[in-house]
Amino acid sequence: MRIGFIDSGVGGLSILTTVRAKVPAHYIYVMDNQYLPYGEKSEAFIQSRLAQLSALLIEEGADLIVIACNTATTQAVASLRPQFDVPFVGTVPAIKPAAAQYCQSGFTVLATPATCRSSYLQGLIAEFAPGCPVGTAGSSELVRLAELKVWYQQDVCSAVAAELSRLGLLQQRPAALVLGCTHFPFLKAELAACLPDTVFLDTAEAIARRVHALVAVDGNVTSASEEYRHLYISSGALDERQRVRVAELGFDQYQHWSKPATTC
């Protein structure tokens, strides 16, 4: 079984780690860092680019693809499913569980600017949180800070605090914060230091359960005792430290795939 992941950066690794713990398989992670962050790209660009990357993963033998990015899911997953014969698992903000627990107090969705303005997110809120006080906060800076932390182990505490202040989240602290970007779980320690009384919600466990269910139905399960390998593909060149980190993150193979996007 080969399972593919797509994100513009390292955010999807926060999902892959949880999925890999539940589902033994060969994993292929595509990081489209040539166009990081997706949160600042148009819907047309994301749909076209995700089709390119999905085709790449299928060429590499992927039996199932996880769109490990909220922005890409909200803007492209519906267009991908009719184009390809493999199942797609998307990543959407945890609006439903947040509404079930925090409708009375309200909650805030922390995501990229593109996710915050998407009709998909507004549809989730209308469906699962009608009448609930729901705020949104869009940040591309937190994506950049998560990248710095994961790749270079930089201390980003003060920068995260400054960004939360800019977003108004330190002045009006939410009871619950939906982490609507897969990069943001990597900053959970910094977020919790700034918002010690806030509950954080993400969807990694739900996605892992969904992948496990699809693999079980398909019957194409890799034995836990089988030797399996993990491939990391980046669209932008990696520096020496990043190449070392790829191995530290559990990948034994690396490729640089530099094909440009067909839509800008």
Catalytically annotated residues: 69, 181
Beta strands in the chain (DSSP E): 2-7, 26-31, 64-67, 88-89, 107-111, 134-138, 176-179, 199-201, 230-234, 253-256
The one-letter code for the residue type at 142 is L
| Number of neighbouring beta carbons within 10 Å of residue 33 | 19
For CA atoms 37, 212, 216, 91, the dihedral sign is negative
Q: What is the CA 131 to chain-centroid distance, rounded?
A: 28
Residue 230: beta bridge partners?
27
